[in-house]
Structure formats: C-alpha cells, structure tokens
Amino acid sequence: MKRVLGIVGSPRRGGNTDILVASILDGARAAGASTETVFLGGLTIRECDGCHACWRGAGCPKQDDMNGLYRAIAAADALVLGTPVYWYAPTALMKGFVDRLVFYNCDRNRGDVSGKRAAVVVPYEEDDPATAAPVVEFFARSLHYLEMELAGTAVVGGMARKGQVLEREDALQSAVELGRKLVDGGRLREGQFSTGME
C-alpha cells in the first residue's frame, strides 16, 4: 500500500490549506493509499543553521520534531505540501520546514526523496495568479533540485475567509482527483486548477 504524507504549513487548522490538503488525501485514500497529516504549527521545527552535519551522517543537531519528519518522509511514497500565501511567499512554518530539507541534498540522504511525487497546495486571498506564482515556483524549483516530481498543484485564489474553499466545489473535486492521480501515477496537468478568482 502506498503512503501519502500531507504537510500543512498554515497555522490554521480547518483553514483553506488544511481543507485542500485533506481533499487530496481523500483522493489518495480512494486510490488505495494510506495517509497521514502533519500540522507544522503543532511542531517544533527550528531554523537550519547550515552546519551540514546531516551531510556527514551525524544527523541534525537540532534534535527537534524534524527528526521524526525525516523518518515519515522516508517512509512516504508521495508528499502533499500546503501553504497559504503570506506576503507573496510561503508561511514561515513552511519555509522553515523546506530549509531543513537540505538534509536530502547529499548522496547519503537523497535517496529518501528522489523519484518521489509531490502535490502542492497554495490558497491565497487576492484574485491575481501572479500572487501565488512565486510560491509555486519556490516549490517547483526546490522539488526539482531534490529530484522529486511535482505531480500537480492546487492553487486557489479569492480565499479571504477561513474555510472559504468549502464553497468551491470545483477546487475540492479537482483536489480529490489530484490525490487519486498522485497515487495512480497517472499523467497530471501542471496547474490543473490554478483557478484564481472566477
């Protein structure tokens, strides 16, 4: 059975990021996967110091919740990474998490992520797709660098209120479909529901 790990980088449980990540995981389970969700806001993930001890096999000296996440990522077949746009960037929670993925930027650890698929979730308030573009680019380039495959994106604009995405049945359905394809390995159209405001 394939395993899909969802990582919610919004501090708000029940918010738009959480709902979209959950919808993707619903689709993954419908395709036969087991799923798990991690809320970065509930964890202690300290900033990367760039000491590169992880590259020398020493493990990360931070000894925080990222150590458990390294194990969860290694055990997963695919990831779902979600963050709202905060000031035209990912949240500090998500940025801090991705910084710590430098752990995989060495021969010793890269095999834990290379070849794995990931889906990206980015809700935001404005109605201009250019607002989310830097965040999608951040994920796309980072995943490519780690030799992972960006399998699809759920980028939804106009999300001003907590839980507002529940009113967007089209986005929720697309997210479920993305989850299915994340597991099935079907061909995915990048940005398949980068809808912005309609």
User: Which residues contribute to the site for ligand FMN (CB under 6 A)?
Assistant: 10, 12, 15-18, 84-88, 123-126, 131, 159-160, 162
CB of 70 to ligand FMN, least distance (A): 25
Rounded to a whole number of angstroms, the minimum distance from the CB of residue 55 to ligand FMN is 33
CA 52, CA 167: separation in Å to the nearest integer? 45
* Closest-CA residue to 82 (of 132, 129, 29): 132
The residues facing 117 across adjacent strands are 78, 149
> Which residue is listed with tokens 């359905």?
173
Q: Select 6 or 15, whichever has its Cβ closest to ligand FMN.
A: 15
- The CA distance from 175 to 120, in Å, is 10
- Distance of closest approach, residue 162 Cβ to ligand FMN, in angstroms: 5
Alpha carbon distance 40, 94 (integer Å): 7
**17/23 with CB nearer ligand FMN:** 17
Minimum distance between the CB of residue 165 and ligand FMN, rounded to whole angstroms?
7
Nearer to ligand FMN among residue 103 and residue 158 (C-beta):
158
Q: Residue 45 or 54: which CB sits closer to ligand FMN? A: 45
**Whole-number minimum distance, CB 179 to ligand FMN, in Å?**
17
Residue nearest to ligand FMN (CB): 15
Whichever of 185 and 191 has its CB closer to ligand FMN, that residue is 191
**Rounded distance between C-alpha atoms, residue 121 and residue 123, angstroms:** 7
Residue 77 makes CB contacts below 8 A (sequence gap 6+) with: 2, 3, 4, 33, 116, 117, 183
Measure the CA–CA gap between 115 and 186, rounded to whole angstroms: 15
